[in-house]
Each structure stands twice: as structure tokens, then as C-alpha cells.
Structure 1
Amino acid sequence: MVTRATYRFREHGIVPDPLGLPDHQAVCVSGDDTECGADSGLLQDGDALARWMFEHTRDTGHLRFRAAQWGYALVEPRAWK
């Protein structure tokens, strides 16, 4: 018995998820020998992140942060041509 298979490969693309709200996060990287490592956690908006960074600087004198905005993406199949 011979089994035959037909494979149809589809191309996919990555698009922003319109329903996903971005998260913001910062980690304090101040320090001479070791980084502070204080983490804001995920925050819902840039203003909340800025407040966290300002308060951390006020409380510690630390000025250097690694900051990111995390977005959401979808993988969607591309339409056939």
C-alpha cells in the first residue's frame, strides 16, 4: 500500500494585536559593582512608569534604568495570491 501526502505551506506574518494594551516596565541598573535590580513590575501606562522611576530616584539617588514597552502581536496566515 502506497500512501501519498500533499502538503500546502502557508506564509504567515506578524501584526500588532489591536486588542492588547501595552505594558511598561523598568529595572534599575544603577550601581558600581552590582546593579540595584529594583523592578517596577508591569505597569499599564507610561505615566505610572515615570512616577515609579522618579520615586525610586528620589528614594535612592539612582539615575539609570533599563526601560521597555511590551506590546502584543498576532501571527496571522497571509492571504493566498
Structure 2
Amino acid sequence: MKRVMTGVLLTAVLGIGGAGAASAAQPSGDGTARQDCRTYSGVTQCGQPKLTEKQRGCVTAAVEQGMTERRATVECTALP
């Protein structure tokens, strides 16, 4: 899990989304701050959401099956 978290952190720092239709971080209106946004399955999410216990379990299961943690987080919070 530590390796996955390190990869996610590096990906976020570099501004590279996971697989699929992920979007890279976009600058805000003033151009100085950056948001961590990504889009999967037609759902856009910025920042790191607070997950319920059920959503954390969903993310863990999806990552174990090969999905990126970023994508799993969006899909497990957006799709019931």
C-alpha cells in the first residue's frame, strides 16, 4: 500500500492523471494556485474527498483489482 500511495503522490505532484480520461491539475483564476482535479466516468472531482468507511473499502477493493487509487476514489464516491 505504501508503494501505491507513493505512486499516487508522485502522480499528483507531476500533474499527471491516472489512466483513461483523467485531467491534469489546472491553474486557478489567478494562475498561482493549482487544483488536483480528475475526471472518470463523466464525473469530475477536485482535491481529496473525505471517504466514509464503505467508500474506503470500495477504493481498497478496486485498487487490489488493478484500478488506480485516483480513479477508484472518484468512482467509489460518485457511483453508489
Highest RCO, 1 vs 2 (Cα 8 Å, sep ≥ 6): 1
From the two aligned structures, give the one with the greater strand fraction: 1
* TM-score of the aligned structures, taking structure 2 as reference length: 0.21
User: Which structure has more helix as a fraction of its residues?
Assistant: 2
Greater gyration radius: 1
